[in-house]
Chain A
C-alpha cells in the first residue's frame, strides 16, 4: 500500500485507465493507435470518454503509421524529477503524427543537439513495463527517419 501510494505521488509510469487501455495494449505489440470518432472521424490522443470535437460516445481505435514531424521540443538538462537524474540531457518532443494528433514523447537514437523542428521521425518502443496496477505497456519513443 505504501509502495502504491509512493508510486501515485512520485512515480512516472503511466497508469492505464479505461480511456487509455486500448492505446497502451497496442504498444505491447509495438503498434501506435489513435482514437477515431465513429460520428465525425476526428482522431485524438490521449484517449477520452467521448470525441472532444462532437461529443459522440462511439469510437474505435486505429493503427497509426507511426510517422510524424517534430512540432516542437526541448533538451532537458536539469532533472526536475529524481527518476530522470541519469537521463539528462534528453529530448522531450511534441510529435505531430501524420494522422493529426500531437504526442508528447522523446526523440532518441540521435545526439540531442541534432533534433530540429519539422524533423521527420518514426516510432519505436521502449522495454515492456508494468503500470502500478499490473497492466503491461511500452512507451512509444521516436527517432529520426534515416
Chain B
C-alpha cells in the first residue's frame, strides 16, 4: 500500500525568529516542541518519535540523544539527520515512514539554533570532510560563493536578467511585510535590488538568504487515522520524494538543473498530483537562482522560463504560484528550510499571514548539501 496520504502533520510550532538574545538553541528547540504538541492537542506522553537536525552552533553527532534527554522522553524511534538544506523535509519523510510502518505513532521533527546572538556557527574543514574540503583553499568559503557559480552559468545559458532574479526577493519581502515574526519586513523595489551590494557575482546581497537567525520550528506528524482526533484539521502528507546529485558541481549538468527534478517527480507520482494541482509553494530559497531553477525542475515552467515567470509577478499572491508566503529564508528567517515547512502547513490550514485562496495543495522543497541533496513534500487539505 502506498504511503501517500497515510500520514499527516497535525501540529506546528515556532519560537520568535531573528535576534533573540539570552535564549539558548536548546531552549528554542524545547519551546517549539511544546508549542507544536499543544497545537496538535497532544502531550509529552503521546510523543514516541523524535527526529532532529543538530544546531550549527553545536554540531553534535548525537544531537537527538541530548535533546531527548532534556525533554525527558524515551522515544521508540530516534533519528538525527544531516543532509544540508534538505534535512527538514527528509526528517518529515522519515517520520512518515516510521509511523506508516508502526515504529512510532506521534513524531516530532525539530530544529532550532541561535547563531545570531549565541555561539558562532561551527562549520569548518572537519565538518566538510578531509580531502573533500580542498576547495576551501581557493576561497570557496560561504554559501553564496558555492551557489554563484550555478547562478552565473544559469544566467549565461538562458539569458536570465538581473531583474528576473530581483523579482524573487521583492515578492517574498511583500509576503514578509505582513508577517510579524519576519526578520526583514520593509518592502523592496527593483531599484533597491539593483542597488544592493554585489557579494559574489552574479549574486547581490538581496539574492542571498539571511545570514543568521535565532529561532526554532517543530512539527508533529502522526497517522491519518490518529490525526482525526487532533485539535486542528490535519494537513495530509500526500506525497514525497528525494534525490541526491552527490557529485554536485563536479558534474556540468548540475549547474542549471538540480536533483529536484527527480525528487518532485517521485512526489507527484506518490500523490497522484502534478504541477497544475499545486496552489502555493514554499521553496528552499537560500538564493534567488535556487528558487528559479527549482521552479523549472518541478515543472511549473519550461527550462529557462522561471525568470520571466517571476518577473510577471507569478510568485506573489496575485500570481499563478504564490511562493514563500512567510517571506522565506530571504526575508523571514534562516532556519535552513524549517520555516518553509511550518509555512506550508499553515497555508493548507488557512492560517498564513499571506493566505492564498483555496490553498488545497502546497509543495515544499528542501535543497542543500553543496547543491547535492533535494527533498520534496506535497501537503494537501484532502485525503487521497
Do the beta carbons of A76 and B139 come within 8 Å of each other? yes
Contact present for B150 and A104 (CB under 8 Å): no
Q: A81 contacts B252, CB within 8 Å? A: no
B149 near A74: Cβ-Cβ < 8 Å? yes
User: Which residues of the other chain, B, contact A80 by a CB distance below 8 angstroms?
Assistant: 141-142, 144-145
Q: Which of chain B's residues have a CB closer than 8 A to the CB of A45?
A: 250
- Say yes or no for B131: interface residue by CB 8 A criterion: yes
CB distance from B8 to the nearest CB of A (A): 40
Asked if residues A104 and B138 are in contact (CB atoms below 8 Å), the reply is: yes
Which of these, A11, A71, A74, A87, contacts B124 with CB under 8 Å? A11
The contact string, 1 if C-beta is below 8 Å from chain B, for chain A 1-27, is: 000000111111111010110000000
State which residues 32-54 of A face B: CB under 8 Å: 45-47, 52
> In residues 68-122 of chain A, which contact B (Cβ within 8 Å)?
71-81, 83-84, 87, 90, 92-94, 96, 101-102, 104-106, 117
| Chain A hits for B132, CB < 8 A | 46
Using Cβ atoms and an 8 Å threshold, which residues of chain B touch A123? none
B66 an interface residue at 8 Å Cβ cutoff? Answer: no
Please measure, in the bound complex, the distance between the C-alpha atom of A19 and the C-alpha atom of B132, giving whole angstroms: 10
CB distance from A3 to the nearest CB of B (A): 14
Kindly state the separation between the CA atoms of A111 and B202 in the bound complex, as whole angstroms.
16
Chain A interface size band reads 35 or more
Residues of chain A lying within 8 A (CB to CB) of residue B152: 72-74, 117
- Contact (Cβ within 8 A) B200 A77: yes
Choose among A19, A71, A94, A139 the residue with the greatest number of B CB atoms under 10 Å from its CB. A94
In whole angstroms, what is the CA distance A79 to B131 when docked? Answer: 22
Known A-B contacts A46-B132, A104-B135; the reply to A71 vs B125 at CB < 8 A is: no
Task: Bin chain B's interface residue count.
Answer: 35 or more
A12 and B198: CB pair below 8 A? no
A31 to chain B, nearest CB (A): 17
B66 to chain A, nearest CB (A): 20
Given contacts A72-B149, A81-B142, A101 and B125 within 8 Å (CB-CB): no
Q: Restricting to B105-164, which residues have a CB under 8 Å from any CB of A?
A: 122, 124-126, 130-142, 144-145, 148-153, 156
Q: For A105, give the chain B residue with the smallest CB separation.
A: B138
A74 and B130 contact, CB distance less than 8 A: no
B125 to chain A, nearest CB (A): 6
Which interface residue of A74, A76, A83 has the most chain B CB atoms within 10 A?
A: A74
Q: How far is the CB of B270 from chain A (nearest CB, A)?
A: 29
Question: Which residues of A sit under 8 angstroms from B149, Cβ to Cβ?
Answer: 72-74, 92-94
Most buried by B among A78, A79, A83: A78
Minimum-distance CB pairs A-B, first 8: A80-B142, A74-B148, A81-B141, A9-B124, A72-B153, A104-B135, A17-B131, A14-B134
The residues of A with any CB-CB pair to B shorter than 8 Å are 7-15, 17, 19-20, 45-47, 52, 71-81, 83-84, 87, 90, 92-94, 96, 101-102, 104-106, 117, 139, 141
Can you spell out 6 A-B residue pairs with CB atoms less than 8 angstroms apart?
A12-B141, A81-B136, A92-B148, A94-B149, A106-B138, A117-B153
